[in-house]
Amino acid sequence: MNDESLSETEIETLRKGATGAGLLVTVSDKSFFDTFKEAGAMAKHLAAAKGGSDSELVRKVSEGRGTGFGVTDSPSEVEAETLEALRSSAELLRDKAPDQLESYRGFVLDLVSSVSSAAEGGEEAEAAAIAKIEAALGSA
């Protein structure tokens, strides 16, 4: 993939899907203290991908700031917008960079796994959120 194949707007869609997926797992379990642990896990995962991913696309997605969500967004808004961004991201990559789809999918699923394992409890709600994320990304 070369840098010019995806616009900054398209990269933002990919970023919103990835960070939204982490946020969706975080908000699926309502524990206040777990939210901090899970947000920290997401930040660490993004930093590691930014500096060490084999995929140029994943590095680019990881280097952005923010999630594309505001503090007043409800969990249902986070879910709807995240799943839409993930579906759009998968479609975009299928069309423009099919060789990067599995790298992106793996990155997002690793990210949500890191977030989910950062704190105890909420496994059932988090598993349901991850299933929705997997469905939005499509099959491997």
* Contact criterion met (CB below 8 Å) for 27 and 78: yes
The closest alpha carbon to 108, from 48, 20, 33, belongs to: 20
Query: pTM score > 0.95 for this model?
Result: no
Q: How far is residue 15 CA from its own chain's centroid? A: 7
pLDDT at 65: 73
- The helix/strand count (H/E) of the chain reads as 6, 0
pLDDT at 86: 97
Tabulate helix, strand, coil % of the chain (nearest 5). Answer: 80, 0, 20
The closest alpha carbon to 25, from 10, 13, 15, 37, belongs to: 37
CA-CA distance, 31 to 122, in Å (whole number)?
8
CA-CA distance, 59 to 7, in Å (whole number)?
15
CA-CA distance, 127 to 54, in Å (whole number)?
27
pLDDT at 33: 66
**Contacting residues for 47 by C-beta, under 8 A, at least 6 apart:** 62
CA-CA distance, 49 to 43, in Å (whole number)?
10
pLDDT at 1: 46
pLDDT at 5: 83
pLDDT at 31: 66
pLDDT tens digit at each of 140 positions of the chain: 444 589 999 999 999 999 999 989 888 876 666 777 888 888 888 889 998 889 999 999 998 777 777 777 788 898 999 999 999 999 999 999 999 999 999 999 999 999 888 877 778 888 999 999 999 999 75
pLDDT at 42: 87
